[in-house]
């Protein structure tokens, strides 16, 4: 059977890039596909490696089989149906684009993203964009955040897409990988992809347009093939990636540096709040766990809302 990778999905039709010819074949699904125990609204997602057959007298194909997924990210729909939607499969990395200002990305949003990536076991990286715009104070804050997240174990990049500063590092980062690129609307995701691969030409929007551009409209992700090799998925937001399956008692497992420090807590069921002999508290004093990450951990723990964002 022919093999390929799904690069686009509309819900009923899928673009499958053939492994051998590189040609994009429009495929659909007939009957039931064997899928590993996930109930979702879409059986096939971008990033899926599939087997397909060409139909007789047609350029279109039929997907016959989905190869085992290395990982996948689901988005639970916010409505009551509790349906899950597979956003993308087989990701090599999940990258969050952040701006300190214009617009401001809140650190709780960064931490929610990182928790999600940890939960799906997808390596996460952070790109801080628009460094051309920051004043002295904002630059200092930027450096503090980079320090915090690097110490937590995440690779960080600071770039200006507009001024083409350090963009080549991102090209190297994306090369030959399947990457999810997430971030608030307006941080420069589409601009970055256009800069890396001018052949793609995504629409970018002025800051004043944010509120018009319906923040949660795109349900089906599209994957762009980069001319340097690799694919990138530009997602409008990551709301609803959800932390729904994480229990309160294990939330700290998804903060790697807090988890590591907790190995030395006196009580095995320590929640790292007020228990005597809490090693996380000591790590904060020593500076190996940042106060900011710890506060965000507590905020997420106690804020039911944020778990459903």
Ligand X SMILES: Nc1nc2c(ncn2[C@@H]2O[C@H](COP(=O)(O)OP(=O)(O)O)[C@@H](O)[C@H]2O)c(=O)[nH]1
3-state SS class at 23: coil
Question: For residues 221 and 253, is the Cβ–Cβ distance under 8 A?
Answer: no
Residue 11 corresponds to which tokens in the numbers above? 């819900």
Binding flag, residue 77, ligand X (CB under 6 A)? no
3-state SS class at 246: coil
3-state SS class at 301: helix
Q: x/- binding map, residues 202-241, to ligand X, per CB under 6 A?
A: --xxxx----------------------------------
Q: 291-302 and 107-119 helices cross at what angle (nearest 10)?
A: 80
Q: How far is the CB of 102 from ligand X (least distance, A)?
A: 7
Q: Which does 242 bind (CB under 5 to 8 A by kind): Zn ion, Mg ion, ligand X, none?
A: none
Binding flag, residue 158, ligand X (CB under 6 A)? no
Binding flag, residue 261, Zn ion (CB under 5 A)? no
Nearer to ligand X, 85 or 130 (CB): 130
Binding flag, residue 191, ligand X (CB under 6 A)? yes
Binding flag, residue 190, Mg ion (CB under 5 A)? yes
Residues numbered 271 to 300 that lie near Zn ion (CB under 5 A) are 272, 278, 280
B/e letters for 222-232, b = 16+ CB within 10 Å, e = fewer, are: bbbbbeeebbb
Furthest C-alpha separation in the chain: 74
Residue 38 corresponds to which tokens in the numbers above? 């996930």
Residues numbered 166 to 185 that lie near ligand X (CB under 6 A) are 183, 185
DSSP letter for 17, please. Answer: E
By CB under 6 A, the count of residues binding ligand X is 19
Q: How far is the CB of 190 from Mg ion (least distance, A)?
A: 3
CA distances from 141 to 128, 131, 191 (A): 12, 12, 24
Given the rule CB under 6 A, which residues bind ligand X? 129-130, 132-133, 160-162, 183, 185-191, 204-207
Given the rule CB under 5 A, which residues bind Zn ion? 265, 270, 272, 278, 280
Given the rule CB under 5 A, which residues bind Mg ion? 189-190
């Amino acid at each position: 059977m022919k093999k390929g990778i799904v690069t686009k999905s509309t819900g009923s039709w899928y673009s499958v890039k053939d492994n051998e010819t590189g040609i994009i074949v429009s495929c659909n699904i007939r009957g039931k596909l064997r899928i590993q125990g996930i109930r979702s609204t879409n059986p096939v997602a971008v990033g899926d490696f599939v087997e397909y057959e060409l139909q007789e007298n047609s350029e279109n194909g039929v997907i016959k089989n989905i190869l085992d997924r290395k990982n996948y990210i689901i988005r639970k729909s916010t409505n009551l149906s509790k349906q899950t939607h597979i956003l993308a499969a087989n990701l090599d990395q999940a990258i969050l684009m952040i701006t300190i200002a214009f617009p401001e990305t809140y650190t709780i949003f960064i931490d929610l993203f990182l928790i999600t990536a940890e939960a799906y076991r997808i390596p996460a990286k952070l790109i801080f964009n628009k460094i051309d715009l920051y004043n002295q104070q904002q630059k200092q804050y930027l450096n503090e955040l980079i320090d915090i997240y690097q110490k937590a174990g995440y690779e960080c990049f600071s770039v200006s897409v507009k001024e083409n500063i350090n963009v080549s590092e991102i090209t190297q980062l994306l090369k030959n990988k399947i990457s999810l690129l997430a971030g608030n609307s307006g941080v420069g995701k589409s601009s970055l992809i256009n800069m890396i691969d001018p052949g793609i030409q995504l629409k970018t929007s002025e800051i004043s347009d944010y509120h018009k551009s319906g923040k949660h409209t795109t349900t089906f992700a599209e994957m762009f093939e980069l001319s340097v090799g690799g694919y990138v998925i530009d997602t409008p937001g990551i709301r609803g990636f959800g932390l729904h399956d994480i229990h309160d008692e294990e939330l700290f497992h998804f903060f790697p540096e807090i988890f590591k420090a907790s190995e030395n807590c006196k009580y095995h069921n320590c929640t790292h709040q007020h228990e005597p002999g809490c090693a996380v508290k000591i790590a904060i004093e020593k500076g190996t766990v940042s106060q900011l990450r710890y506060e965000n951990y507590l905020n997420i723990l106690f804020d039911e809302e944020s778990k459903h964002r």
